Structures are given as structure tokens and as C-alpha cells.
Amino acid sequence: MAEIDATDARLLLALTQDPRASVMALSQQLGLARNTVQTRLARLEADGALAPLDQRVRPEFLGYRLGAYMSVQVAQRGLAEVSDALAQLPEVLEVTGLSGATDLLVHVVATDADHLWRITEAVLAIPGIQRVDTALAMRRFVDRRVAPLLERTAGPAAD
């Protein structure tokens, strides 16, 4: 995994502020050659530094207004199979492996409580899952963000 330097961070911050900015506009804003911006963006994409665009779409606007987190305990030798099976459920947005008593934290969305019940049943039916505890997401106080980290990496603004 390649490290992001201050110039990359400034470029990514500019994209955060205007995701549809052209290479030329970024070049002018940052005082960099167009080819430099183009090369850096291509490298950042190839290195996986930029998340896929679908991660910007909010599930609420697709009708999935209910969010929940499932703490899942798994038979240890079945983590790969369970993760693969979870990935097959469209309502599963993210699966994170944890240390401690819970093996996986699964972020799911549903249209309503009955739909969440059906999702929970589908998760419990996956071979290797031993226990599932579900907690409703009531309100998001801080959205996923990276801008403060980019600002730290970019350093003081050059005026």
C-alpha cells in the first residue's frame, strides 16, 4: 500500500470539495501541471486509495431507511465461508472482522422492521454462524469522513 503524501492529500481534499472537478480545474487550483494531476489520480485509483463511487450513495434514498449492526459470532474455521455468504446478501453493506467476543460486525439496511427480521433469519441460516445480536442504528452523529486526516497529511495551507 502506497503512502499518500502532502500533494496527494491536497489533491484529494480538492476532490472532496468538488468531486466533479476536471483535471484542468484541479491543476489550476493546486498549482500543479495537468499531467502531474492526471498521473497522481491514476496512481491513487490503481492503488485503491479512492473508494468505489457506489459508496457515496445513501441507502435511505433507495428505500432502505432502517439501519442496523449485527454482532456475529462464527465458528472460527468458518470465517471465510461466512463472509462470502454475507456478501451475497444485498442488504449487507459492510462486514468487519473484530477481535474479542464478537467475530464480525455486519452493517445491514432494511426497508422496515419486518424486512430486518427476514435479513436476520437469512444471516442465522448461514452455516457457521453461532449467534447474532442486532442493534438498530438510531441516529448517525458523525458521518464517515476522511477530510480531517487529509488536512493533517496535507499540512498547513500554502497561501
Q: What is the pLDDT of residues 89-110, one digit of tens each?
A: 999 999 999 999 999 999 999 9
Percent share of the chain, pLDDT over 90: 84
Q: What are the cell numbers at 24?
A: 484542468
> DSSP of 43-108, one letter per residue?
HHHHTT-SPPGGGGS-GGGGT--EEEEEEEEE-GGGHHHHHHHHHTSTTEEEEEE-SSS--EEEEE
Averaged pLDDT score across all residues of the chain: 93
Of all residues in the chain, what percent are helix, strand and coil, respectively (each to 5)? 45, 20, 35
Q: Would you say the CATH fold of 59-137 matches that of 6-54? A: no
Domain ranges of the chain: 6-54, 59-137
Given a cut of 60, whether residue 159 has pLDDT beyond it is no
CATH 1.10.10.10 at 6-54, yes or no:
yes
In which residue are the cell numbers 476536471 written?
A: 22
CATH 2.70.150.10 at 59-137, yes or no:
no
User: What is the mean pLDDT of the segment spanning 26-41?
Assistant: 96
The predicted pLDDT at position 78 comes to 86
Q: How many residues does the chain have?
A: 159
User: What is the mean pLDDT of the segment spanning 110-127?
Assistant: 97
